[in-house]
């Protein structure tokens, strides 16, 4: 009985969050390479920080970045990528939220 209940409320698996963090990091680098390298000293450390922010529910800065990209009418491909990443991030947060 506990197994069924656990399956229905299981958090998102870490591999999905890791892949999302990798994709967000790559998107940030592709979108603004110079800004990325001004802010990021170590890619793996940045990916780890993104994962931690997602796990801890502290991804508002990431969401803000993706929402800002969504306002760029001159970059339709990047807007679509940002929308997809934001959707995935919201989905992960919803499925990883603690039970109330």
In a domain, 2, yes or no: no
pTM confidence score: 0.84
Torsion angle defined by CA atoms of residues 86, 24, 17 and 62, in that order, rounded to the nearest 10 degrees: -60
In a domain, 6, yes or no: no
**Residues 18 and 51: beta-carbon distance below 8 Å:** yes
In a domain, 5, yes or no: no
Q: Write out the residue range of the structural domain in which residue 50 sits.
A: 11-96
In a domain, 53, yes or no: yes
In a domain, 66, yes or no: yes
In a domain, 4, yes or no: no
Q: How far is CA 74 from CA 19, 30, 71, 96, in A?
A: 28, 16, 9, 34
In tens, the pLDDT along 40-62 reads 999 999 999 999 999 999 999 99
In a domain, 24, yes or no: yes
More confident residue, 30 or 6: 30
Number of domains in the chain: 1
Give the separation between CA 90 and CA 14, rounded to whole angstroms: 15
């Amino acid at each position: 009985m506990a197994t069924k209940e656990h399956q229905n409320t299981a958090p998102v698996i870490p591999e999905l969050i890791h892949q999302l963090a990798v994709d967000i990091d790559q998107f940030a680098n592709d979108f603004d390479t110079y800004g990325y390298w001004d802010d990021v000293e170590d890619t793996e450390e940045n990916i780890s920080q993104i994962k931690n922010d997602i796990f801890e529910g502290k991804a508002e800065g990431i969401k803000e970045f993706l929402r800002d990209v969504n306002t760029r009418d001159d970059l339709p491909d990047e807007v679509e990528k940002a929308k997809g990443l934001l959707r995935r991030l919201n989905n992960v947060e919803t499925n990883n939220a603690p039970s109330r």
